[in-house]
Amino acid sequence: MPELPEVETIRRDLEKAILHKTFHCVEVYDPLVLRSPLKDFIQGLEGQSIKAIVRKGKALLIQLSNGRYLLVQLMMTGQMVVDAKQDKHTRVVFKFTDDRRVLYNDQRRFGQLRIIKDPSEVKYFNVLGPEPFDKNFNALYIFQQTRKSRRPIKNLLLDHTFVAGLGNIYACEILFCCRLNPKRSAGRITRSQAQDIHEKTVDVLKEAIRYRGSSMRNYRDGSGQKGEFRQRLQVYARGDKPCCVCLSPIRRITQAGRSTFFCPQCQK
C-alpha cells in the first residue's frame, strides 16, 4: 500500500504534468472505483482545470476551477500514471486538452475516486492526525500523546489519528533508526525518545521521498517507474537477513495483524 513518500512522489509527478491543465474527457472503464455517480463524476471534471494538487495523509486532493475537488485514494494497488499505455487494470483515463493523459490503474480495485465539495465531508480527513512535516507534529506532541497509551509504539505510529500518512514500511524503519523495540509500550517512551521519534520520522520520510518511495509490489510513481527506496530499507521485508548494524538476523513478528520487522539486538 502506498504510504506518504509514495503518494507525495505521485503528487509531485502529477503537479509537473497536469497542474493548470484542463480535463478534456474522462473515460471510465470500471465504475467500481468511483464513489460518485458515473454521470456526475464525468460531468464534474470535463471542462474543469486543475488549480492545485495536494496530499493529505495517503490521499490526493485535486482542486478544480469550480472549487470542487477530485479525491483520489489509491488504497492497496491504485496508480496514477502519466502518458502510459492502457492495460487491463486501467479503470479510468483522464484526457487533457493538450493531449496529456493520466491513467488510473488499480489491479485490486480497492481504490476510490470521487468528486467532493469540501474536504470536511470526508470522514478520513476529519480524524486525521497531524502531517509528519507539520509543526504540530513535534516531540512534545508525541510525548503527550504517548502518556495515555499502553499500545505498542509500532501500533501507535500506524494509527492515522496520531500521525497522518505513515504505514507499515516506514513505521518499521523509523523504529529501527530510533533503536526502539516495536513492542515497547507507548506510555514508557521518554522525552528524549519522543524527540528521537520526531527527528527520525522526518529524516526517514524525507529520504524516502528523495528516492521516490519504496516499490514492494504495485507502487509506481507518476511516470510508471518503481521507487528506489526499497534497496535502502534496513529492516522492512528483511526477515532473517543480517542487521546492517550488528549482523544478527532481523526478526519478523505480527502486531495488530501486520508484519513488524526489527533487530532484537539493536532495538531495546
Catalytically active residues are 2-3, 58, 258
Residue 263 found at the interface with Zn ion (CB under 5 A)? yes
Region of 64 please: left (phi>0), alpha (psi -120 to 50) or beta.
Answer: beta
Taking CB under 5 A as the rule, does residue 179 contact Zn ion? no
- The residue range among 74-82, 92-100, 173-181, 236-244 that interacts with Zn ion, by the rule CB under 5 A, is 236-244
Considering only 243, 260, 261, 262, the residue that binds Zn ion (CB under 5 A) is 243
| Cα–Cα dist 107/42, whole Å | 22
Nearest approach, Cβ of residue 230 and Zn ion (Å)? 20
Please tell me whether residue 266 binds Zn ion under the rule CB under 5 A: yes
In the bound state with Zn ion, the residue whose beta carbon lies nearer, of 245 and 256, is 245
Assess 113 for contact with Zn ion (CB under 5 A). Answer: no
CB–CB of 224/81 below 8 Å? Answer: yes
User: Residue 245, interface with Zn ion (CB under 5 A)?
Assistant: yes
Identify which range of 36-44, 90-98, 141-149, 243-251 contacts Zn ion by CB under 5 A: 243-251
Q: Would you say 246 and 168 are in contact if contact means Cβ atoms under 8 Å apart?
A: no
* Part in contact with Zn ion (CB under 5 A); list of ranges 81-89, 176-184, 206-214, 246-254: 246-254
Would you say 55 or 238 has its CB closer to Zn ion?
A: 238
Q: Which one of 113-121, 142-150, 161-169, 240-248 is the stretch in contact with Zn ion (CB under 5 A)?
A: 240-248
Number of residues located near Zn ion, criterion CB under 5 A: 6
Judge whether 86 and 60 are in contact, CB under 8 Å. Answer: no
**Closest separation in Å from C-beta 241 to Zn ion:** 11
Cell 509506481 found at: 220
- Residue with nearest beta carbon to Zn ion: 243
Helix locations, 211-245, DSSP H: none
Are the beta carbons of 165 and 124 closer than 8 angstroms?
Answer: no
Give the H or E element holding residue 71.
strand 69-73
User: Under a CB-based contact definition with an 8 Å cutoff, are residues 151 and 224 in contact?
Assistant: no
- Distance between CA atoms of 246 and 152, rounded to whole angstroms? 24
Per CB under 5 A, 246 contacts Zn ion = yes
State which residue, 162 or 176, has the beta carbon closest to Zn ion. Answer: 176
- Are the C-beta atoms of 167 and 58 separated by less than 8 Å? yes
Q: Between 174 and 266, name the residue whose CB sits nearer to Zn ion.
A: 266
* CA-based max dimension of the chain: 58
Tell me the torsion sign for CA atoms 49, 82, 221, 223: negative
Q: Is 265 in the site for Zn ion (CB under 5 A)?
A: yes
Question: Which chain residues interact with Zn ion by CB under 5 A?
Answer: 243, 245-246, 263, 265-266
